Chain A
Amino acid sequence: QSALTQPPSASGTPGQRVTFSCSGSNSNIGSNPVSWYQQLPGAAPKLLIFGNNQRPSGVPDRFSGSKSDTSASLAISGLQSEDEADYYCAAWDGSLNSYVFGSGTKVTVL
């Protein structure tokens, strides 16, 4: 059972905006920055968002992150077929003294 809770799936048509959440607690999201990772089928995870809302160089600005209290969200605007992937949130957990990941959200482009 993951320490961070994500919806198992999200979907949208090309061009739509899709948003999904990552829910945690005071010991992780509530007190530490959140990062997001994109995992394309058969590939290793790739950093998408760090520091709650910062995009690494090369990540399209269609991807955006936010955080409020003990929850975070990832939004994909202008959804494209290549965005079909699994998305994971992560944060340091001060109580567990360990990083924790979300359960993952599978994004489908209809």
Chain B
Amino acid sequence: QVHLVQSGVEVKKPGSSVKVSCKASEYTFRNYYIHWVRQAPGQGLEYMGIINPAGGTNYAQNFQGRVTVTRDTSTSTVFMELRSLRSDDTAVYYCAREMTPTQYFDSWSQGTLVTVSS
């Protein structure tokens, strides 16, 4: 059962921004935290931030000031925008859900590859 579906591949220039979407079922959108995690090529998982069912957000220190997570309640979609892109932002970006509050991610999306290159 697919709970989260992300937008497709992105290719961006250094210094630009990218906005990745994560569409959830209405039930997931209303009852789950949605987190963002990224994985650079050949590297491990890196936590980015969260949006809760009330729309509140929290970001990892490494991304504060450069990332914004928003949502559209009319389409049950969550967005992650990363600004001032650098080559080391090249990664697969995942959204994942957490039943509130259980402290684990029970379902992950398929991921979106973002390539930053001049």
A residues at B contact (CB < 8 Å):
2, 32-33, 35, 37, 44-47, 50-51, 56, 86, 88, 90-92, 96-104
| Given A44-B94, A45-B94: A99 touches B106 (CB 8 Å cut-off) | no
Query: Taking the nearest CB of chain B, how far is it from the CB of A6, in angstroms?
Result: 9
Determine if A96 and B61 form an interchain contact, defined as CB atoms under 8 angstroms apart: yes
Known: A96-B60, A98-B47, A101-B47. A44 touches B105 (CB 8 A): no
Q: CB of B71 within 8 A of chain A? A: no
A50 touches B102 (CB 8 A): yes
Give A45 to B105 CA distance when docked, in angstroms. Answer: 10
Contact between chains at B61 and A98 (CB < 8 Å): yes
The A interface is mostly helix, strand or loop, or mixed, namely strand
Q: How large is the interface on B (under 10, 10 to 19, 20 to 34, 35 or more residues)?
A: 20 to 34
A110 to B18, CA, bound (A): 41
Distance to closest chain A CB from B79 (angstroms): 19
Q: Is the CB of A47 within 8 A of B60?
A: no
Does chain A have a CB within 8 A of B46? yes
The CA-CA distance from A99 to B101 in the complex, in Å, is: 13
- Given contacts A45-B108, A91-B103, A101-B45, could you give 9 more A-B pairs where the C-beta distance is less than 8 Å? A37-B105, A47-B106, A50-B103, A56-B106, A86-B44, A88-B45, A90-B45, A98-B58, A98-B60
* Nearest CB of B to A77, in Å: 22
Smallest CB-CB separation from B50: which chain A residue? A99
B44 pairs with A103, CB closer than 8 A: yes
Does B35 interact with chain A (Cβ within 8 Å)? yes
Verify if B110 is at the interface (C-beta below 8 Å from A).
yes
Give 5 closest A-B pairs by Cβ, nearest first.
Answer: A35-B104, A50-B104, A104-B44, A101-B45, A44-B108
